[in-house]
Chain A
């Protein structure tokens, strides 16, 4: 049996100092009216805000200085991330590049890719999307059909990706394609490519979500040319890279803080002396949050040591997103406000937006059913 061990970590003094800096910055920005903290944080795309984060050294924090990074620890990065989310800051533009694309380029990219892209990402001026899912390949990622064919000096890509968040406004995208026919090992023969979305051969079409918002897209490659130095890592090793980044993608505070602003505004709305039922519900959520945060920081500590706690990350995401989904379900019954369609400015709009976004929490980044399968494997059942 795999033993799930969430070793506790102690936040270093430097991280706590950084926390105060981020808080002061967010307070200042809120006063200046540069963002509305009730909105959904990492889904709010605000390039101007991202540039400010870049200027302060809060993107690419762990990367080497020679690539524009700041050589900070995983825990320092964690603190910045959680403060941004808890403060409702609009970090959506740089989110994906900072969380995983940059790390992949640093680890597997060519020297040219590192030199050209990482400093711009860290500056908060270059944004990424992730292209894994396809019309016939969602949870079953090994079923991808987008094909890469070797040509002189690079690869030609053809195929269709779906659910690519921000492809219509990001500069680059990392995409997974099949570069060798399916063999007995169906995870072999896949490769990751860095796609410049401004180049010819790629078409981005909107896919509107259920409330009419435009985050994700269909992305069509038609003989799109990728030069050899924009291939990530060894040809055929894409699966290993994709699964390797899951610990980064799944364990962070973005997997349990999606409804944090609703929790805070609900506590405010319930007042200083809530009745017993309301107090119990608030207390229960706070207890869940405190435990989740400890598990999540523990994973940051493991990442710092170079471990790849993929199963623990799946567990944090499963428990965390389950919590996220409960928050609107409980408060809608404690407060007499009806959910309202809008952008999250009033309590009713915040509640409404959260209810409408909630189905995505347990789907994006790996459905809960896939996660539970991974946890079961970690427990020695598969």
Chain B
């Protein structure tokens, strides 16, 4: 995903694994879903430099390149950490692109004030309209809803103060959001596969692990295919979007990863049988996120249509150059 040596990325992953292990036991997940801000978990993510990971050093980032920041984001989704890290990263990228300073702490971002992720729990809200952006710090929650993963999606009372011109702000939010959700889904899907493999090797029926049955093996092979395709599409979008979001690559990613999310989650649950349907098993922390994230910042149909229209407008013979980037 980046030019950084493999072992440095490994260290990054290990750091996140350690934070998840230490700061995100089941009790924290459950209290976060009940509406409590996971302060200790967020603090630790700040301490290890992740909260500003998507920003360049000049804007107060820890000096990771964008690819590494996305590897980190993906790992937090692998662990289903109940925090607005993606939202903070999206808001930071937008502010930076608009030439504004990026404040400390948790950030969220919205185009209209409805279903604002983690609205009310973040220190600042970035509000965009078609061609303007503004940063708000005091907001009032009107209606608190949740996505399927129990993450807050809040309607906020917002009034734009001192908006700054930022051409294409709303479109840019959609692209940045779709990019980060794609990365997150790739991570969550990787975990769903890992859970399913572990379960298939442990669960014994008819005298052998269910993973020994061909029917189960073939389902898991399909899940692995979906996870691999999702990774490929998400990574390509990240690579293409280091400086600014790339519409083609992001449309590919959100469409492909979103499809993989649904198909992959279905298989992961089928393999787990009734156990995966319980609150006790951890599978649902990732699958409920997959079912939410695939519909946020445009579902598959939205991006498929966009992509299809993009291709049609350029004409059939332009498709191959689009695919090969040459």
Contacts and interface: CB of A to CB of B under 8 A. Distances in A.
Interface of A: 1, 4, 6, 8, 11, 16, 19-20, 82, 86, 263-265, 267-268, 270-274, 276, 278-284, 286-295, 298, 315, 318-319, 322, 369, 371-373, 375-376, 378-382
Ordered nearest first, which 5 A-B pairs have the shortest CB separation? A279-B308, A283-B304, A283-B307, A283-B308, A376-B217
B320 interface: yes
Nearest to B6: A7
A327 to B, nearest CB: 13
A381 B201 contact: yes
A268 B252 contact: no
Most buried by B among A265, A286, A291: A291
B323 A282 contact: no
> Which secondary structure dominates chain B's binding surface?
helix
Given A280-B308, A284-B255, A290 B197 contact: no
Contact of A270 (B304, B312, B324): B312
B316 A381 contact: no
Given A263-B319, A290-B256, A372-B217, 6 more contacts: A264-B316, A273-B313, A284-B259, A319-B228, A376-B217, A381-B200
Contacts of A378: 224
A372 B307 contact: no
Given A4-B224, A375-B224, A19 B324 contact: yes
Interface in B243-262: 249, 251-253, 255-256, 259
A374 to B, nearest CB: 8
19 contacts: A11-B326, A264-B316, A267-B316, A274-B312, A279-B312, A283-B303, A283-B307, A290-B256, A295-B228, A319-B225, A319-B228, A372-B217, A372-B222, A376-B217, A376-B220, A379-B197, A380-B197, A380-B201, A382-B212
Nearest to B214: A373
Contacts of B229: 288, 291-292, 295, 319
A267 B222 contact: no
Contacts of A6: 228, 231-232
B316 A268 contact: yes
Contact of A379 (B221, B253, B312): B221
Contact of B316 (A20, A265, A287, A290): A265
B304 A287 contact: yes
A276 B228 CA distance: 28
Identify the interface centre among A8, A19, A283, A319: most chain B CB within 10 Å of its CB.
Answer: A283
A86 B218 contact: no
Contacts of A284: 255, 259, 300, 304, 308
A315 B305 contact: no
- Interface majority SS (helix, strand, loop, mixed), chain A: helix
B194 to A, nearest CB: 7
A382 B200 CA distance: 11
Contacts of A272: 312-313, 315
Interface stretch (B32-40, B109-117, B136-144, B233-241): B233-241
Nearest to A281: B308
Contacts of B1: 8
Contact of B228 (A315, A322, A376): A315
B304 A280 contact: yes
Interface string B282-326: 000000000000000000110111111111110111011011101
A376 B214 CA distance: 9
Contacts of A292: 229, 232
B211 interface: yes
Contacts of A287: 233, 251-253, 255-256, 259, 303-304, 307
A1 B216 CA distance: 16
B78 to A, nearest CB: 13
B225 A375 contact: yes
Contact of B232 (A264, A268, A282, A294): A294
Given A274-B312, A278-B308, A318-B225, A381 B211 contact: yes
Nearest to A1: B197
Given A19-B324, A267-B316, A287-B256, A373 B303 contact: no
Contacts of B304: 279-284, 287
Select the residue from B233, B239, B306 with max chain A CB neighbours within 10 A. B233
A241 B227 CA distance: 30
Nearest to A284: B304
Contacts of A263: 319
Contact of B221 (A11, A82, A271, A375): A375
B197 A283 contact: no
A376 B218 contact: yes
A322 B200 CA distance: 25
Nearest to A4: B228
Nearest to B301: A280
B182 to A, nearest CB: 11
Given A8-B239, A276-B305, A264 B228 contact: no
A271 B259 CA distance: 26
A86 B316 CA distance: 12
Nearest to B228: A4
